[in-house]
Structures are given as C-alpha cells and as structure tokens.
Amino acid sequence: MRIRRTREGQRGSAGLETQRRQQRQSEDGPNRKAGELLERMAGGDETALLLLYSQLSGTIYACTLRILGDVEEAKDATEEIFFRLWSRAGRYDPGRCSALAWILTVARRFALDRKRAITRRAKAMRRLHQDSESTVGGDPDWLHRVDLVSALEQLSAKDRQLLEAAYFEGLSGSEIACRDELPLGTVKTRIRAAMGRLRKAFHGVSS
C-alpha cells in the first residue's frame, strides 16, 4: 500500500512538473518573439512595429480599457502606446525582465498617466464652470456643452496659456504672477478678460 501511494505521488509530481514545463514553453514563445521584434524596432524596422501591433494590440487594449474604463480613450491610448514602444524599444533590457512584462509595464504606466490627465481635465472643467458664474456672468450652463479644446483654439496664444496655467496646471494667481513677473492684479484682470473671450469663442464654435 505504501509503495503504491509513493508511486502515485511520484506520478502526480511528474504530471505537475510537465504542466509547468509546458506553461513555460507556451510563454517563452511569445516572449521570445516580442523580444526579437523590439530589437528590430530599436534598429528602425517599421515592419517589426506592425508585427508587434498585430501580436499584442488586443492584449494592450484590454489592459488600457481596465484602467481607463472608456472604449474610445482605450483605443486612442493603445495607438499611442505603440508609438511609445517604437521610440523606446532601444531601452528594453532582456537581462532585467521578459519582453512581454516590459511592454505591459509601459502600457500600464501610460494608461495611468492618461487617467490622471483625464481627472485633472474634469476638475478644470468644473472650476471653469464655477468661475464662469462670477467672472463671466450670463448663462451659467454654457460650459456644460462646450468643446473646451475647440474654444481654446480660438483664443490667442497668450490667453490660452494663461487659462491653461490657471485651470489645467493648477497654478494660483500668485504663482502665475511670480512666473511671468507681473503684478497679481494684472494677472487677475487678464484671467477675467480671457474668460470673457473664451465664452465668446464658445458661442462662435457652437453657432
């Protein structure tokens, strides 16, 4: 009885080891292929980029979708991640990690950065809406429908940079005044004026 149990245990251990070996082999193939493609990309081979996209775009899209929670954002992020992989392929060190692990790390970091940027933009939109009630007057709901990017593009570079600093970069009036070497009162006046021009630009875009 003891001999039989020992043999059964040996067969079980052998089966488990076989499964592990097969799993390693199944992972080694894609890893080796991805590593070869990264090496070719580092040498400027554009065909390698297309092959890597064909091999991993679905995996990277699924990764970004889990983080961003938005289909269109995930699609855009996936495209940009492959451009980033193209520009950074030479940084991959096979001695530190597998090719797939490195690629997915790049993808996750990019998606997390994008998510933080989206959060900052949403906060900026809320602040713009709140401030529009006091600095612009009139219709307090105009920013609910605004295509902010299109409206900002209608402004001068000076107005656009000022509003981006105040709302998207989160700088205070004092910080902007210090950065631009201007009196604080001048900065506040320019922000109010830029807000007024932004509102007019929005009406031009939406009409």
44-100, pLDDT tens digit by residue?
999 999 999 999 999 999 999 999 998 988 998 999 999 999 999 999 998 888 999
Q: Which pLDDT value is given to residue 25?
A: 44
Structural domains for the chain: 2-119 (1.10.1740.10), 136-206 (1.10.10.10)
pLDDT in tens, 144-199: 444 566 777 777 878 878 887 777 776 778 888 887 888 888 888 888 888 888 77
Residues 6+ apart with CB under 8 A from 51: 37
Instruction: State the average pLDDT for the chain.
Output: 77
How many CB atoms are located within 10 Å of the residue 199 CB? 20
Q: Supply the pLDDT for residue 154.
A: 78
Given a cut of 70, is residue 7 above it in pLDDT? no
Strand, coil or helix: what is 145? coil
State the Cα–Cα distance between residues 96 and 18, nearest whole angstrom: 26
